[in-house]
Structure 1
Amino acid sequence: MKNYSTVFLYLILACLFLACAENTDAEDPVLQEDFASRMEGEAYLGSAKSTLFLHGYEKLPSVDGEGSFSLAEVAGDSVTLALVVELTTGDGFTLGIPGIQIGSAWKASLAGGEFAIRDNGEMSGSVITTTQEISWDGHLFADKIFLDVRSKYLIQEDNITEGSIFLTHLELYRSSTQGGSSGNDCKNIVWQNRAVFNIHSGGVDMMSVPVCTD
């Protein structure tokens, strides 16, 4: 009788352990979805503010604008991200960054460096191209992104001298709606094909990016 009771007790404990493990997995967002699933279907849109430091130290007036960050293409574990900044002066920049997802994280390993988004949302990295050194630093949350992008000119481009630094701060919010209002205050978002600079190839690709048409 004592042996049967002991076996029964072990069975109960084993069932409780398995049930707890299943609940833990269901509640853990990292185990529940990969990076593409986190990003897919909903864009981040919001404000951008850029400042040019001519020669690296002469600060010019800041310029406001709009920005977006989205999933451009997914093929297996290959995931391309698109960052678009449009300023009120008509200037701005685009970045198409092909990388790979590693669970809920993402990484782009390029010839001149790398960009990464870690499991906890931390964004870091820098890449050197033939004309610029580009770095980003920020954080990807479930409902928003705070991101700083820094571009240092390695050669003169038009009136922008070598050594000049272009800083852009972005505050972007998820386009998903809760309670009838969008997190980024845009009521009508459409996806359009736009020419985006591919930082890997150095060329321009057509990518589907979100556009607010309010």
Structure 2
Amino acid sequence: MFRSGALLILVASVLFSCSKSAERDADPEDFASRVSTEAYLGTAKSTLHLHGYETFPSVEGEGSFNITNVSGDSVMVALICRLSTGDGFSFGIPGKQSGKAWSASFDTGNLVIQENGGMSGLMQTDKQEISWDGILLTNKMVLDVKIKYLKQEGNITEGSIINTHLDLARSGHEGVTTNNGCRVIVWETRSVFNIYSGGVDILRVPVCHPMKD
């Protein structure tokens, strides 16, 4: 493409210089920097409303929130709920950071984490309507996730709703024990559903191992 080797060297030099300048200008207080050092882990409780009105007993479990695959302003959020019954969900949500805020935009809606930590939004896949409402703070996260089924899946009928409440604490803070008594955290690769592409991503996520006596 280029005829001159000197021109190639010049272009590489300019690109390298711009890259280093961008690194120096990077905001250490952007969204990724605020939440990337430790994961949030804790308890989860899900309630199924079959058909939208027939309420089943709540099921408890554990949940986690972390970010991964950070590249420039692109940041993947991983939100996982593991219930004692073996059910739950695992969402990989690709989005963009803007300063201390983060958002994921879809043709069917958006999910947002504001600069003050407020979490809100709604989006749809082919089979589900997913919304969240909560708050992300420096040392904890409280989040309600609502999944409404737009089509029948197995024994869960169209119109059914699963409400999940997550109460998570940031693992790296001095003296903090997450709500499910976890201090041993192992980062493992897991299959996570990408709600943007509809495929499956292999992501590094935190797994809590209970404390031993």
| TM-score where L is the length of structure 2 | 0.83
Q: Which of 173, 182, 185 is equivalent to 2:177?
A: 182
Which residue of structure 1 aligns with residue 208 of structure 2?
212
Q: Displacement, 1:139? A: 0.3
Q: Aligned runs of 1:29-178 on 2, under 5 Å?
A: 33-178=29-174
Once the two structures are superposed, what CA deviation does each residue of 1:39-64 show, in whole Å capped at 9, x if it has no partner? 11200000000000000000001000
- Structure 2: distance between partners of 1:82 and 1:58: 30
- Structure 1: distance between partners of 2:69 and 2:182: 23
SS in structure 1 at match of 2:183: coil
The number of equivalent residue pairs is 183
Which residue of structure 2 aligns with residue 201 of structure 1?
197
Once the two structures are superposed, what CA deviation does each residue of 1:169-199 show, in whole Å capped at 9, x if it has no partner? 00000001314x5355422111000000001
Q: Which runs of 5+ in 1 are unaligned?
A: 1-30
**Partners of 1:126 and 1:133 within 8 A in 2:** yes
Which residue of structure 1 aligns with residue 17 of structure 2?
none
Q: Aligned runs of 1:2-41 on 2, under 5 Å?
A: 33-41=29-37
| TM-score where L is the length of structure 1 | 0.83
Superposition RMSD in Å: 1.2
Q: Of Structure 1 and Structure 2, which has the larger fraction of its residues in helix? A: 1
Amino acid aligned to 2:194: N
- Structure 2: distance between partners of 1:212 and 1:114: 29
**Partners of 1:73 and 1:79 within 8 A in 2:** yes
- Structure 2: distance between partners of 1:190 and 1:70: 13
Amino acid aligned to 1:171: D
Structure 1: which 4+ aligned runs deviate by more than 4 Å? Answer: none
